[in-house]
Amino acid sequence: MMQSYSKNEAIDRINKLAKTGKAFLFIINYKQDCSFVEQIDNIDPSELLYNLNGFSNCTSVPIPLQSPITWRPTPISLVQYKTSFDIVRRNILGGNSFLTNLTCITPVPTNLGLEDIFYHSQALYKLWLKNRFVVFSPEIFIRIENGKICSYPMKGTMDATLPSALEVLMEDEKEAAEHATIVDLIRNDLSMVADCVAVTRYRYVDTLHTNHGPILQTSSEISGILPKDYVSCLGDILFKLLPAGSITGAPKHKTMEIIEQAENYDRGFYTGITGYYNGKKLDSAVMIRFIEEQDGKMFFKSGGGITCKSDLESEYNEMKQKVYVPIY
């Protein structure tokens, strides 16, 4: 079993490993009070599998799925969702938050195991922790190379099969406002650890493929220059930026209090981060698109950003739309 670390222990371990130039992988939960930080050479593939943008310990070829996928999400009702939505909306209208990322947990009866989902999913970042969870995330958290740090917040989704989907997404006032808020938040976050912070790409669109069809997703790129001795304080830099702005909201700390009040479950490792450092560069992902196993049952965690322009049914449908596996 991999050893877990507290926040201070994880910061110290990341700093020490980075200074020695040894390659390591890290997994940090949403509240940052539980982390795994392990040297690559010490990771047992029977306990943990990863493929992080091509950096992988997968050597075996996946066995083809023997039968059609059974996938029957049973999301909370609109009435239940409204209770949480109303808490968030009251706080936004009261001036306590501009944007709050509200998430839910959805039971999903399926014939897929966590390892099946890991091997057969198509995603930029994939991670499987035995008997715990699988993540297949499209969202970059930060990348660091040659003293440059970049972040890529992802906010704004739409069903790509809808008529004029791209045009509708880009002209949607709520989506544009949500994206602008997160970009501003991440720019401020990066300014705590870097100089010369700038938005280098704004609201570009990617197409994500799912078992229910394609989804459009908007992202931006924000970059800055780290101090020359950044490697020796890599752990401090990572934790100073957590939790990710895209899965909390703005202002971050007050919004986290609202999330605690509105959500009726523990996020755990969902919306935390995972990544690696190979002695030269760091690459990491926000752990969205997340399935957890509890007592042999599968639970999908998903959500979206709520603003003053948010519509109850639209947000409820977006939360449900994200309950998918990228197997096609």
Q: Which residues contact 15 (CB under 8 A, 6 or more apart)?
A: 232, 233, 234, 235, 236
Q: Which residues contact 303 (CB under 8 A, 6 or more apart)?
A: 101, 102, 103, 104, 319, 322
What is the 3-state secondary structure of 153-168?
A: CEEEEEECCCCCHHHH
Catalytic residue, candidates 47, 82, 130, 139: 139
Could you confirm whether 155 is annotated as catalytic?
A: yes
Is the Cα dihedral 208, 304, 271, 92 positive or negative? positive
Place of tokens 């944007």: 99
Q: Helix, strand or coil for residue 321?
A: helix
Q: Which amino acid is at 306?
A: I
Cβ(306)–Cβ(85) below 8 Å: yes
Q: Which amino acid is at 160?
A: A
Catalytic residue, candidates 7, 9, 126, 155: 155
User: Residue 275's closest CA among 92, 10, 8, 62?
Assistant: 10
Query: Catalytic amino acids?
Result: 139, 155
